[in-house]
Amino acid sequence: MNEQIENIKKEAISELEKVNTLKEFDETFIKFLGKKSELSSILKTLGSLSEEEKKIQGPILNSFKEEINNLFEEKKKEIEKKEIEAQIIMETIDPTIDLDNVEVGHLHPLSSVRYQLEDIFKSMGFMIYDGPEIESEFFNFEALNIPKYHPARDMQDTFYIDSNTVLRTHTSNCEVRALKEFGVPLKMIVPGRVFRNEATDAAHEHTLHQIECLVVDRNISVANLINTIQIFVKILFGDDVKVRIRPSFFPFVEPGLELDISCLICKGRKCPACKNTGWIELGGAGMTHPEVLKAGGINPDEYSGFAFGFGIDRMAMQKYKIEDIRWLMSGDLRFIGQF
C-alpha cells in the first residue's frame, strides 16, 4: 500500500507541474482527490482492515492525504495569483497613451433629425408621447376607422404576430391611446419606429421611422394644420424649401392631404431619391376623422383636430443629401462616419 501511495504522490506532483489554469486544476483535483480517485478507493479499504492494521495504515494515509491537499492548495494559490496579475496588467491604464487619436461616437442621422424635430415641436407647445411597436389590431387599424376587411388595409403590407397583433405600420396607433389617456385639449407628437412588409428600393425600407402629430381642441381648422407644417418644415430645412400640399385619402382623416417638399438632393432636377419627379413625399395629413375622435371618447360635434404622419428617414435623406434610404439602416460605419 505504501508503494501505491508513493506512486500516486509522484504522479500528482508531475500532473500539477503541467497545470496552468483553474479549469485544469479542477480536473486534476478530481482525478487525485475526487470521490472516484485511486486515493479515495484506498481510504475505503481501511474499513476492512483489522484494528492493528488500522492503527498502522490510518495515520500513514491521513498524513499522505494532508500532504496531497497541501500540494493542491499551494498550486491553486499560485494559479490565482498569476491570473490576478495578468488581469491587473490587462486593465492597467497607460497614462502615456495618445488620446488625440481616440474616436468619439456621435449621433446617427436618424437620431439627430428626430431630436431636432422634438425640439421644434416642444418649442411650439407639443408633448412627446410614446407607444408600443407591437400593437393590437384595434389601435393600429380599427380605432383609426379601418375596420376588418376594409380595402384600406391593403395599402399597408403588415407584419402579423398573430391574428390580432401586428408590428405597427404607423405611429398613428398612438392617437386613440393618447386621447383616452389625456383627453382634450391635446397637442402631441409621437416619434418612433414602424414596420412595413414591402420591397425595398432607394425610397422604401421595411423598417422606417415616423413622427406623428395630433392636435385636438375646439375650432381647429385646416389653416392650423398647414401653418404647423410650414413652420416646422422651414425650421428644419430652411426657407428655400418649397412645400406642396395635395388632396389624398387616408381613412383616419377627412379631408386627407399629402405633403411634398422640393427635393433638396437634386434641387428639383430629378433623381432616384425623388423618383425623378423633383418632389419628395414626406407623408399624409388631414383633419381628424369623427370616428377616430369617437374611438378616443371625444365628441366630434364639440371638438375637431388635425393629424399628420411624416417619415423621419426621408427628412434625414433630404437634410443630409442621402440618395438611398437603405444606407440609414445598413450599420456601415463608413457611411455613418460621414455625419
What is the full DSSP assignment across 215-237?
Answer: EEETT--HHHHHHHHHHHHHHHH
Q: Which CATH number fits domain 109-336: 3.30.499.10, 3.30.930.10, 3.90.180.10, 3.40.1080.10?
A: 3.30.930.10
Q: Beta-strand (E) ranges in the chain? A: 127-128, 134-136, 160-162, 165-167, 186-195, 207-217, 243-248, 253-262, 279-288, 304-311
Q: Judge whether 180 and 143 are in contact, CB under 8 Å.
A: no
Amino acid occupying residue 258: E
* Beta-bridge partner residues of 194: 208
Distances (CA, A) of 65 to 54, 58, 255: 15, 11, 91
Query: Side-chain half-sphere of 132: how many Cα atoms within 13 Å?
Result: 12
What is the model's pLDDT at position 44?
A: 66
Confidence of residue 211 (pLDDT cuts 50, 70, 90): very high
pLDDT classification of 85: cutoffs 50, 70, 90: confident
216-275 per-position pLDDT tens digit: 999 999 999 999 999 999 999 888 888 899 999 888 999 999 988 888 878 777 877 778
Lowest mean pLDDT among 55-69, 103-117, 131-145, 302-316: 55-69
- The helix or strand, by DSSP H or E, that contains position 43, with its residue range, turns out to be helix 38-44
pTM (2 d.p.)? 0.66
Q: Tell me the three state secondary structure of residue 60.
A: helix
Pairing of the two strands 186-195 and 127-128: parallel
Domain boundaries, the chain: 2-91, 109-336
- Among 94-98, 156-160, 293-297, top mean pLDDT goes to 293-297
Closest CA to 142 of 163, 169, 173, 183: 173
| Kind plus residue range of the DSSP H or E element containing 63 | helix 51-91
Q: Which three cell numbers stand for residue 75?
A: 498550486
Distances (CA, A) of 226 to 248, 316, 318: 15, 21, 20
What distance in Å separates the CA atoms of residue 136 and residue 286, rounded to the nearest whole number? 24
- Please determine, for residue 280, whether its predicted confidence score (pLDDT) is greater than 80: yes
Residue 294's pLDDT band (cuts 50, 70, 90): very high
pLDDT of residue 54: 66
Name the residue with higher pLDDT: 104 or 112.
112
| Position 1 pLDDT exceeds 60 | no
Tens digits of residue pLDDT in 117-143: 999 999 999 999 999 999 999 999 999
